[in-house]
Protein backbone atom coordinates (compact mmCIF):
# COMPACT_ATOMS: atom_id res chain seq x y z
CA UNK A 1 0.00 0.00 0.00
CA UNK A 2 1.02 3.63 -0.45
CA UNK A 3 1.03 6.49 2.02
CA UNK A 4 1.75 10.05 0.97
CA UNK A 5 3.41 12.82 2.98
CA UNK A 6 0.87 15.66 3.33
CA UNK A 7 3.71 18.21 3.46
CA UNK A 8 5.85 17.44 0.39
CA UNK A 9 3.67 14.80 -1.35
CA UNK A 10 6.40 12.18 -1.27
CA UNK A 11 4.90 8.68 -1.62
CA UNK A 12 5.97 5.53 0.27
CA UNK A 13 5.09 1.86 -0.14
CA UNK A 14 4.42 0.33 3.27
CA UNK A 15 3.07 -2.81 4.81
CA UNK A 16 -0.31 -1.99 6.36
CA UNK A 17 0.37 -4.46 9.15
CA UNK A 18 3.10 -2.13 10.39
CA UNK A 19 0.61 0.73 10.70
CA UNK A 20 -1.69 -1.35 12.87
CA UNK A 21 -5.46 -1.10 13.07
CA UNK A 22 -5.36 2.29 14.85
CA UNK A 23 -2.51 3.82 12.76
CA UNK A 24 0.72 5.31 14.06
CA UNK A 25 2.77 8.54 13.82
CA UNK A 26 5.34 8.54 11.02
CA UNK A 27 7.97 10.95 9.69
CA UNK A 28 8.92 11.80 6.11
CA UNK A 29 12.56 11.08 5.31
CA UNK A 30 12.68 14.01 2.90
CA UNK A 31 11.09 16.99 4.68
CA UNK A 32 11.08 15.53 8.22
CA UNK A 33 7.39 16.33 8.48
CA UNK A 34 5.33 14.09 10.77
CA UNK A 35 1.70 12.97 10.53
CA UNK A 36 -0.57 10.23 11.78
CA UNK A 37 -0.92 7.52 9.14
CA UNK A 38 -3.90 5.11 9.16
CA UNK A 39 -4.72 2.08 7.07
CA UNK A 40 -7.77 3.82 5.62
CA UNK A 41 -5.70 6.73 4.29
CA UNK A 42 -3.12 4.32 2.86
CA UNK A 43 -5.86 2.36 1.10
CA UNK A 44 -7.25 5.58 -0.38
CA UNK A 45 -3.80 6.54 -1.68
CA UNK A 46 -3.44 3.12 -3.26
CA UNK A 47 -6.83 3.41 -4.98
CA UNK A 48 -6.00 6.85 -6.48
CA UNK A 49 -5.80 7.00 -10.30
CA UNK A 50 -2.42 6.31 -11.82
CA UNK A 51 -2.23 9.79 -13.33
CA UNK A 52 -2.91 11.64 -10.08
CA UNK A 53 -0.11 13.91 -8.81
CA UNK A 54 0.55 11.87 -5.67
CA UNK A 55 0.69 8.44 -7.30
CA UNK A 56 2.86 9.86 -10.08
CA UNK A 57 5.54 10.74 -7.51
CA UNK A 58 5.95 7.15 -6.55
CA UNK A 59 8.55 6.20 -9.15
CA UNK A 60 9.99 9.55 -10.20
CA UNK A 61 12.90 9.39 -7.74
CA UNK A 62 12.43 13.05 -6.87
CA UNK A 63 12.36 12.58 -3.09
CA UNK A 64 14.93 9.84 -2.72
CA UNK A 65 16.81 9.76 0.56
CA UNK A 66 19.82 7.47 0.00
CA UNK A 67 21.28 5.76 3.00
CA UNK A 68 18.15 6.05 5.21
CA UNK A 69 17.00 2.99 7.15
CA UNK A 70 13.41 1.75 6.59
CA UNK A 71 11.47 0.66 9.66
CA UNK A 72 7.84 1.26 8.72
CA UNK A 73 8.15 -0.21 5.22
CA UNK A 74 10.28 -0.90 2.17
CA UNK A 75 10.86 1.45 -0.79
CA UNK A 76 8.31 1.04 -3.56
CA UNK A 77 10.94 1.26 -6.33
CA UNK A 78 14.46 2.46 -6.97
CA UNK A 79 14.65 6.14 -6.13
CA UNK A 80 11.47 6.19 -3.94
CA UNK A 81 11.87 7.98 -0.60
CA UNK A 82 11.95 5.75 2.46
CA UNK A 83 9.64 6.38 5.40
CA UNK A 84 10.97 6.38 8.94
CA UNK A 85 8.75 5.84 11.96
CA UNK A 86 8.30 8.88 14.17
CA UNK A 87 8.93 8.39 17.89
CA UNK A 88 6.59 9.91 20.44
CA UNK A 89 9.33 12.27 21.65
CA UNK A 90 11.14 15.00 19.74
CA UNK A 91 12.83 14.25 16.43
CA UNK A 92 16.51 13.28 16.40
CA UNK A 93 18.97 16.18 16.59
CA UNK A 94 20.57 15.34 13.27
CA UNK A 95 17.29 15.87 11.44
CA UNK A 96 16.99 19.50 12.72
CA UNK A 97 13.16 19.47 12.16
CA UNK A 98 12.58 23.13 13.04
CA UNK A 99 15.45 24.60 11.04
CA UNK A 100 14.66 26.38 7.82
CA UNK A 101 16.84 25.54 4.82
CA UNK A 102 19.57 28.05 4.02
CA UNK A 103 18.73 30.21 1.01
CA UNK A 104 21.16 31.03 -1.78
CA UNK A 105 21.92 34.58 -0.58
CA UNK A 106 22.72 33.43 2.96
CA UNK A 107 24.95 30.63 1.70
CA UNK A 108 26.78 33.02 -0.65
CA UNK A 109 27.31 35.55 2.15
CA UNK A 110 28.62 32.83 4.45
CA UNK A 111 31.04 31.58 1.79
CA UNK A 112 32.24 35.15 1.13
CA UNK A 113 32.82 35.72 4.84
CA UNK A 114 34.78 32.48 5.20
CA UNK A 115 36.82 33.40 2.12
CA UNK A 116 37.66 36.82 3.57
CA UNK A 117 38.68 35.26 6.88
CA UNK A 118 40.89 32.75 5.09
CA UNK A 119 42.57 35.52 3.04
CA UNK A 120 43.11 37.61 6.17
CA UNK A 121 44.68 34.64 7.98
CA UNK A 122 47.02 33.94 5.05
CA UNK A 123 48.02 37.61 4.89
CA UNK A 124 48.79 37.70 8.61
CA UNK A 125 50.87 34.52 8.35
CA UNK A 126 52.79 36.03 5.42
CA UNK A 127 53.47 39.27 7.32
CA UNK A 128 54.72 37.54 10.49
CA UNK A 129 58.24 36.67 9.17
CA UNK A 130 58.61 40.23 7.84
CA UNK A 131 57.61 41.72 11.20
CA UNK A 132 60.09 39.45 13.02
CA UNK A 133 62.90 40.43 10.62
CA UNK A 134 62.17 44.16 11.06
CA UNK A 135 62.11 43.78 14.85
CA UNK A 136 65.44 41.93 14.88
CA UNK A 137 66.98 44.59 12.62
CA UNK A 138 65.77 47.39 14.92
CA UNK A 139 67.16 45.64 18.01
CA UNK A 140 70.50 45.04 16.28
CA UNK A 141 70.66 48.73 15.34
CA UNK A 142 69.85 49.86 18.88
CA UNK A 143 72.66 47.66 20.23
CA UNK A 144 75.26 48.28 17.51
CA UNK A 145 74.77 52.05 17.37
CA UNK A 146 73.93 52.60 21.02
CA UNK A 147 76.51 55.36 21.36
CA UNK A 148 74.78 57.37 18.63
CA UNK A 149 71.41 56.64 20.23
CA UNK A 150 72.60 57.92 23.62
CA UNK A 151 74.18 60.97 21.99
CA UNK A 152 70.81 61.84 20.44
CA UNK A 153 68.72 60.78 23.47
CA UNK A 154 70.91 60.91 26.62
CA UNK A 155 68.08 59.52 28.78
CA UNK A 156 68.56 56.14 27.13
CA UNK A 157 72.00 55.72 28.73
CA UNK A 158 70.42 54.53 31.96
CA UNK A 159 68.34 51.95 30.07
CA UNK A 160 71.42 50.54 28.36
CA UNK A 161 73.17 50.36 31.72
CA UNK A 162 70.27 48.39 33.23
CA UNK A 163 70.50 45.71 30.52
CA UNK A 164 74.28 45.38 30.89
CA UNK A 165 75.28 47.49 27.88
CA UNK A 166 76.72 50.69 29.36
CA UNK A 167 77.49 53.46 26.88
CA UNK A 168 80.70 55.50 27.21
CA UNK A 169 80.42 58.55 24.97
CA UNK A 170 83.74 60.03 26.12
CA UNK A 171 85.73 56.91 25.32
CA UNK A 172 87.64 57.22 28.63
CA UNK A 173 87.59 54.53 31.32
CA UNK A 174 88.87 54.40 34.89
CA UNK A 175 91.17 51.55 35.89
CA UNK A 176 92.85 50.44 39.13
CA UNK A 177 90.99 52.95 41.30
CA UNK A 178 92.14 52.65 44.93
CA UNK A 179 91.30 54.48 48.15
CA UNK A 180 93.76 54.70 51.08
CA UNK A 181 94.10 56.60 54.35
CA UNK A 182 97.30 58.39 55.35
CA UNK A 183 98.51 60.68 58.12
CA UNK A 184 100.48 63.87 57.51
CA UNK A 185 101.52 66.07 60.42
CA UNK A 186 98.84 64.46 62.55
CA UNK A 187 96.13 65.21 59.97
CA UNK A 188 94.25 62.25 58.43
CA UNK A 189 94.27 62.21 54.64
CA UNK A 190 92.04 60.28 52.22
CA UNK A 191 93.98 59.40 49.07
CA UNK A 192 92.22 58.37 45.83
CA UNK A 193 94.34 57.23 42.89
CA UNK A 194 94.05 55.26 39.65
CA UNK A 195 94.42 55.53 35.88
CA UNK A 196 92.43 57.10 33.02
CA UNK A 197 92.64 55.06 29.79
CA UNK A 198 91.65 56.17 26.29
CA UNK A 199 89.64 53.20 24.94
CA UNK A 200 89.10 54.72 21.46
CA UNK A 201 91.18 55.02 18.30
CA UNK A 202 91.16 58.82 18.38
CA UNK A 203 92.60 61.58 20.55
CA UNK A 204 90.24 62.44 23.40
CA UNK A 205 90.06 65.44 25.71
CA UNK A 206 90.27 64.64 29.42
CA UNK A 207 87.75 66.66 31.47
CA UNK A 208 88.01 67.59 35.10
CA UNK A 209 87.63 64.79 37.66
CA UNK A 210 84.95 64.67 40.35
CA UNK A 211 85.29 62.72 43.61
CA UNK A 212 82.30 62.09 45.91
CA UNK A 213 82.20 60.49 49.37
CA UNK A 214 79.08 58.43 50.11
CA UNK A 215 77.64 57.15 53.38
CA UNK A 216 76.29 53.60 53.90
CA UNK A 217 72.91 54.71 52.50
CA UNK A 218 74.56 55.80 49.22
CA UNK A 219 74.05 59.53 49.87
CA UNK A 220 76.85 61.90 48.95
CA UNK A 221 78.21 63.65 52.03
CA UNK A 222 81.08 65.50 50.40
CA UNK A 223 82.46 66.11 46.88
CA UNK A 224 85.44 67.85 45.30
CA UNK A 225 87.08 68.15 41.87
CA UNK A 226 90.60 67.91 40.46
CA UNK A 227 92.21 68.83 37.14
CA UNK A 228 94.09 65.99 35.36
CA UNK A 229 97.79 66.38 34.62
CA UNK A 230 97.21 66.37 30.85
CA UNK A 231 94.27 67.81 28.86
CA UNK A 232 94.23 65.13 26.10
CA UNK A 233 95.01 61.45 25.66
CA UNK A 234 96.17 59.71 22.51
CA UNK A 235 94.57 56.39 21.40
CA UNK A 236 95.13 53.58 23.96
CA UNK A 237 97.16 55.92 26.18
CA UNK A 238 96.80 55.88 30.00
CA UNK A 239 97.06 58.81 32.42
CA UNK A 240 97.55 58.25 36.18
CA UNK A 241 95.75 60.49 38.66
CA UNK A 242 96.02 61.07 42.41
CA UNK A 243 93.94 63.29 44.69
CA UNK A 244 94.00 63.83 48.48
CA UNK A 245 91.37 65.11 50.95
CA UNK A 246 92.38 66.32 54.41
CA UNK A 247 90.19 65.46 57.40
CA UNK A 248 87.51 63.49 55.54
CA UNK A 249 84.10 63.20 57.19
CA UNK A 250 83.38 60.16 59.32
CA UNK A 251 81.06 57.31 58.40
CA UNK A 252 82.18 57.19 54.75
CA UNK A 253 81.50 53.92 52.98
CA UNK A 254 82.99 54.47 49.50
CA UNK A 255 84.29 57.03 47.00
CA UNK A 256 82.71 57.59 43.58
CA UNK A 257 85.07 58.81 40.84
CA UNK A 258 83.72 60.19 37.55
CA UNK A 259 84.15 63.07 35.14
CA UNK A 260 82.69 66.48 35.86
CA UNK A 261 79.83 67.51 33.50
CA UNK A 262 77.32 70.28 33.00
CA UNK A 263 74.71 68.76 35.31
CA UNK A 264 77.11 69.26 38.20
CA UNK A 265 77.14 73.00 37.51
CA UNK A 266 73.33 73.09 37.57
CA UNK A 267 73.27 71.08 40.85
CA UNK A 268 75.82 73.43 42.43
CA UNK A 269 73.57 76.40 41.77
Residue 70 pLDDT exceeds 50? no
**Cα→Cα distances 194→39, 189, 214, 217, 257, Å:** 117, 17, 19, 25, 10
Share of the chain above pLDDT 90, in %: 28
Residue 228: the pLDDT is: 93
Does residue 201 sit in the same domain as residue 240?
yes
Residue 253 pLDDT exceeds 60? yes
In the predicted model, what is the mean pLDDT of residues 87-105? 48
Final residue in a domain of this structure, among 168, 198, 219? 168
In the predicted model, what is the mean pLDDT of residues 141-145? 79
Does residue 24 sit in the same domain as residue 72?
yes
Q: CATH number for the domain including 200?
A: 2.60.40
Does residue 70 sit in the same domain as residue 134?
no
Final residue in a domain of this structure, among 168, 198, 217? 168
DSSP-assigned states of every residue in 178-243: EEEEEEETTEEEEEEEEEEEE-SSS-EE---EEEEEE-TTS-EEEEEEE--S-SEE-TT-EEEEEE
Does residue 87 sit in the same domain as residue 141?
no
Residue 82: the pLDDT is: 44
Residue 62 pLDDT exceeds 50? no
More confidently predicted of 240 and 92: 240
Residue 79 pLDDT exceeds 90? no
Does residue 204 sit in the same domain as residue 254?
yes
Share of the chain above pLDDT 70, in %: 74
Question: Which phi and psi angles does 192 have, rounded to 5°?
Answer: -120, 125
Final residue in a domain of this structure, among 168, 190, 209? 168
Instruction: Count the domains in the chain.
Output: 3
* Range in 30-34, 176-180, 202-206 the model is least confident about: 30-34
More confidently predicted of 123 and 225: 225
Does residue 26 sit in the same domain as residue 79?
yes
Tens digits of residue pLDDT in 151-203: 787 777 777 778 877 777 788 999 999 999 999 889 999 999 999 999 888 89
Residue 168: the pLDDT is: 76
pLDDT, mean over the chain: 75
* Range in 145-149, 160-164, 237-241, 265-269 the model is least confident about: 265-269
What domain range includes position 188?
Answer: 172-268
Does residue 246 sit in the same domain as residue 183?
yes
Does residue 209 sit in the same domain as residue 264?
yes
Does residue 78 sit in the same domain as residue 136?
no
187 forms beta bridges with 184
Does residue 147 sit in the same domain as residue 205?
no
Give pTM, 2 decimals.
0.44
24-27 β-sheet, strand order: 34-37, 24-27, 84-85
Whose CA is closest to 236, among 204, 193, 265, 210? 204
Does residue 179 sit in the same domain as residue 264?
yes
Does residue 110 sit in the same domain as residue 147?
yes
Amino acid sequence: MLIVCPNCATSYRVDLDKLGPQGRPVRCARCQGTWFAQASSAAAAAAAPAGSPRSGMEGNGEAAAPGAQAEAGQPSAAGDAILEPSASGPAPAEAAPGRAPEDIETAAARRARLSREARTGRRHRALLPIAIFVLVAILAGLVGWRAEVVRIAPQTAQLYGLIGLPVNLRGLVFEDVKVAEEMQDGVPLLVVQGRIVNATQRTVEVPRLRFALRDPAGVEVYAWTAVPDRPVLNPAEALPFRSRLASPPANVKDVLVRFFHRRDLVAAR
